[in-house]
């Protein structure tokens, strides 16, 4: 049994290394780091076995790299513009979309029976954890090049980001004010999910729930609800007529 288990583990690791190479563009030196980066707390609660610590590190490193990149790209723009652009590039929805496009959803280890996780931002968190792993494995300079070559250039179109409105709540409030509507964000549910507090928030227009969002904090949940409402309304109001 031990031989069969070892053989299965070797085959699994070999397959994961191949998929990681396709995503990262290189074969990692410290493979264990990357396995940890791909492991969500829902399948392993050990502090050294899931990606929360690497996510914390990767979040800081990615933010620094993006700040450095923007500082060089926009030499004549002020602090406010740079801060807003960084927020657009590293917000949860943006990073989650990038992670899914890169293929991280297919190789991430998480509790697939938990439907809430499938609609949360855990893949963006996994991407941050991978940035942390690359930093520990290869240092800042190589991580900077990787972020630029594999995240910014193929997935973040700067001209579009400059024009993008990322505060969906403000956008929805603006629509409501222009059309004489009453808009509220109401917490529908709050519960503990895999050791973390999970919130479901509804966007309510004139007493009618038009969209819901679920996330591990109220701010993200309300932004998801607002974005879903914007998509469903198209700002023509027909769905409320």
Crossing angle of helices 92-102 and 79-90, in 10° steps, is: 50
**Cα(129)–Cα(103) distance, integer angstroms:** 15
Report the phi/psi class of residue 237: left, alpha or beta, with left for phi > 0 and alpha for psi in -120 to 50.
left
Q: Say how many Å lie between the first and final Cα of the chain, rounded.
A: 65
The catalytically annotated residue of 19, 59, 97, 137 is 59
Give the Cα separation of 37 and 84 in Å (integer): 28
| 59 is annotated as an active-site residue | yes
Residues near 149 by beta carbon (within 8 Å), at least 6 away in sequence: 25
Any bridge partners for residue 196, and if so which?
193
Determine the Cα–Cα distance for residues 27 and 18; give it in Å rounded to an integer: 8
Catalytic residue among 6, 84, 128, 189: 128
Whether 51 and 36 have beta carbons less than 8 Å apart is answered as yes
The residues with which 198 forms a beta bridge, in sequence order, are 191
Q: Going along 66-195, which residue ranges are E strands? A: 183-193
**231 is a catalytic site residue:** no
Q: Are 134 and 142 in contact (CB under 8 A)?
A: yes
Active-site residue numbers?
Answer: 59, 128
């Amino acid at each position: 049994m031990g031989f069969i288990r070892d053989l299965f583990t070797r085959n699994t690791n070999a397959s994961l290394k191949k998929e990681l190479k396709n995503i990262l563009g290189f074969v990692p030196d410290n493979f264990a780091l990357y396995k940890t980066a791909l492991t969500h707390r829902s399948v392993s609660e050990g502090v050294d076995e899931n990606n929360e610590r690497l996510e914390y590190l990767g979040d800081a490193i990615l933010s620094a790299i993006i700040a450095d990149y923007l500082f060089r790209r926009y030499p004549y723009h002020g602090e406010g513009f740079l801060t807003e652009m960084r927020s657009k590039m590293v917000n949860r929805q943006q990073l989650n979309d990038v992670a899914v496009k890169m293929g991280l959803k297919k190789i991430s280890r998480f509790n697939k029976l938990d439907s809430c996780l499938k609609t949360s931002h855990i893949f963006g968190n996994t991407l941050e954890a991978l940035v942390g792993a690359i930093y520990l494995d290869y240092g800042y300079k190589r991580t900077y090049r990787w972020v630029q070559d594999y995240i910014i250039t193929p997935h973040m179109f700067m001209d579009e980001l400059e024009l993008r409105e990322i505060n969906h709540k403000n956008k929805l409030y603006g629509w409501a004010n222009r059309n004489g509507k009453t808009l509220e964000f109401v917490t529908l549910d709050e519960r503990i999910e895999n050791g973390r507090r999970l919130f479901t928030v509804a966007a309510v227009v004139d007493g009618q729930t038009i969209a819901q969002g679920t996330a591990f904090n109220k701010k993200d949940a309300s932004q998801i609800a607002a974005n879903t409402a914007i998509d469903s309304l198209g700002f023509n109001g027909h769905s409320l007529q």
